[in-house]
Amino acid sequence: MAYVQRPKRRIVGLLSGLALLLTLSAAAAGQYVPVHGGDFAPRPTNLDQDSGAPPSPADQSAPDASVADDRARTSVNFASGKGTVSEDDYRPLTGRERWQYYVRATYWSPGAVFGTAGPAIGAQIGNSPPEWGGGLKGYAQRLASEFGNNIITNSIQSGLAALIKHEPRYVRSAKKGFLKRAGHALAFVFVTYNDDGKVRPAIANLVADYGGAFAQIAWYPSRYTVRGDGVRLGNIALGFNLIANLINEFTPDIKRVFKRK
């Protein structure tokens, strides 16, 4: 990539450090599970805590259902790169599920791959930045740029959301009608649920979108600035979030249409 000037290096260093700190916080949260009242307690072992005896055969079958539930609750939409939960049966993620969701949304799912390769293809078609040129070399730079942006953005979003107990997934509307649901998707660019199912400003999402954009400018050609181009890229990220929300909102409807055929 192009040479990164010292002020830009400081910015990306600070943001990368913040992303790492928040990611480690999310990982630590994964070692705990909610107990009564919403507090967290250490995850139990396979031995009965009172007797030290191994679990019964009936208890051993429970993890299979738990694993399947974890996968469903932490799955990532291929087209949007985001997970979804419905207002109808909202249940917050546990610490372990938050960590699983972060890994799948950032590294290990078709949605994570498409969420990186898709924008890189768009930037390649638009020749942005033009200094990176075309061909395989230009696309490799854009792909690496989007991958770095995705890691920093998701690390900030998932880690900060875990710390302030906000929902990292998109919350699908329980309302009927296209306009109401589309309006819900627009609103949830700027708001989200907390762990109590109450609507709150989407602080983690907004900080992550602009933080990832500012970090991305650090490895862009030197003519790009954080104050101008970083804010512009952050605004574009909000637009992509709206598209992702609309995809997640109407994916069940699209699936039903194809099932009828």
Least confident of 11-20, 37-46, 81-90: 37-46
pLDDT grade for 9, boundaries at 50, 70 and 90: low
What distance in Å separates the CA atoms of residue 176 and residue 125, rounded to the nearest whole number?
38
What distance in Å separates the CA atoms of residue 233 and residue 210, rounded to the nearest whole number?
8
Least confident of 6-15, 77-86, 150-159, 185-194: 6-15
What distance in Å separates the CA atoms of residue 146 and residue 236, rounded to the nearest whole number?
13
What distance in Å separates the CA atoms of residue 230 and residue 251, rounded to the nearest whole number?
31
Spatial neighbors of 128 by CB under 8 A, at least 6 apart, are: 142
3-state class percentages of the chain: helix first, strand second, coil last, to nearest 5: 65, 10, 30
Tell which residue, 135, 70, 136, has the closest CA to residue 104: 70
Listed by start position, the domains of the chain span 6-31+57-260
What distance in Å separates the CA atoms of residue 128 and residue 172, rounded to the nearest whole number?
33
Is the pLDDT at 183 greater than 90? The verdict is: yes
Q: What is the pLDDT of residue 103?
A: 94
- What is residue 43's three-state secondary structure? coil
Q: What is the pLDDT of residue 24?
A: 55
pLDDT grade for 74, boundaries at 50, 70 and 90: confident
Is the pLDDT at 64 greater than 80? The verdict is: no
Q: What is the pLDDT of residue 80?
A: 87
Q: pTM of the prediction? A: 0.76
Is the pLDDT at 236 greater than 80? The verdict is: yes
Is the pLDDT at 210 greater than 50? The verdict is: yes
User: Do 173 and 184 contact (CB within 8 A), yes or no?
Assistant: yes
pLDDT digits (tens, 9 = 90+) for 112-163: 888 888 889 989 999 999 999 989 999 999 999 999 999 999 999 999 999 9
Q: What is the pLDDT of residue 129?
A: 93
pLDDT grade for 95, boundaries at 50, 70 and 90: very high
CB atoms within 10 A of CB 177: 9
Is the pLDDT at 191 greater than 90? The verdict is: yes
Amino acid identity, position 69: D
Please provide the average confidence, as pLDDT, over all residues in the chain.
Answer: 81
What distance in Å separates the CA atoms of residue 158 and residue 166, rounded to the nearest whole number?
9
pLDDT grade for 31, boundaries at 50, 70 and 90: very low
User: Do 151 and 219 contact (CB within 8 A), yes or no?
Assistant: no
